[in-house]
Amino acid sequence: MSWTYYWAAGGHGAQPLYNQFQHAGCAVGCGGVAWAILFAWGDRQAETGNAYWAGRWGLYRRDGGRGANDIAPLSMTEGVRTVIRELRGQIGTFCAFGSGATFPWNMPGARSYLSGRTYTRLDAHWNSVGWHEGRLREYARNSIRDRRTPAVIGTGWLNHYPVAYGYAWQRRTIRRCFIFCWTEEVYDRWFYVNQGWGGSGNGWVEAGTWFAGEIRP
């Protein structure tokens, strides 16, 4: 048994460490923070020599607005808060018991943020009732593995949107017995996620997901 690992370009050091804050009477919501992290990652890749992302500058602009080009910061600034607040409105985040909640079918609204800033494309796929699906895991896995680009995923049961930027898997053989014995091959699959909590809690989670959000140059 051996693990195979894939990482988005830049690994841990390329991840923006953004977090939530209070807005409109509740937490601003993980959906907007996740998109902000992903867009900022793409912006920094375009600005720092990633040939795949070259030319896609403009994902982050001065003070989080729509003016002059700027490089997205890795840490929270007022400009990042401006981006997250804009995204919050575009994806229909609402207050629920002190948290900011976003339905998965509203997450593609983040395309509005891209309009007028960049030609970057956004795709989103989801299960409306929060079931984890292999096809959704594979959208996120393929983004990391094939394009070295993170993806927004959904963890828990319609609970949280982190950004997955690492993927690991292994195949192993197990022995089962009931009346007689046999062997089976099983797979272990994990994502490494940026939780959107300012770096706190980042780590490996089981690679089941009910949402996959991708960007492409």
Q: What is the pTM of this model?
A: 0.95
Burial class (CB in 10 A: 0-12, 13-18, 19+), 32: buried
Instruction: Please check whether residue 52 is in contact with residue 45, taking contact to mean a CB–CB distance below 8 angstroms.
Output: yes
Between CA 120 and CA 109 the distance in angstroms is 14
The pLDDT of residue 25 is 95
Neighbours of 65 (CB within 10 A): 14
The pLDDT of residue 161 is 98
Residue 198 pLDDT class (50, 70, 90 cuts): very high
Q: Smallest Cα–Cα separation from 158: which of 104, 82, 213?
A: 104
The pLDDT of residue 47 is 94
Ramachandran class of 179: left when φ > 0, alpha when ψ lies in -120 to 50, beta otherwise: left
Pull the structure tokens for residue 88: 């919050």
Q: Is the pLDDT of residue 1 over 80?
A: no
Q: Is the pLDDT of residue 185 over 90?
A: no
Torsion of the alpha carbons at 141, 142, 146 and 148, rounded to the nearest 10: -50
Residue 189 pLDDT class (50, 70, 90 cuts): very high
pLDDT tens column, 56-95: 999 999 999 999 999 999 999 999 999 999 999 999 999 9
What mean pLDDT, rounded, does the chain reach? 96
Between CA 125 and CA 112 the distance in angstroms is 17
Q: Is the pLDDT of residue 179 over 80?
A: yes
Name the E strands within 8-120.
22-23, 26-27, 94-96, 99-101
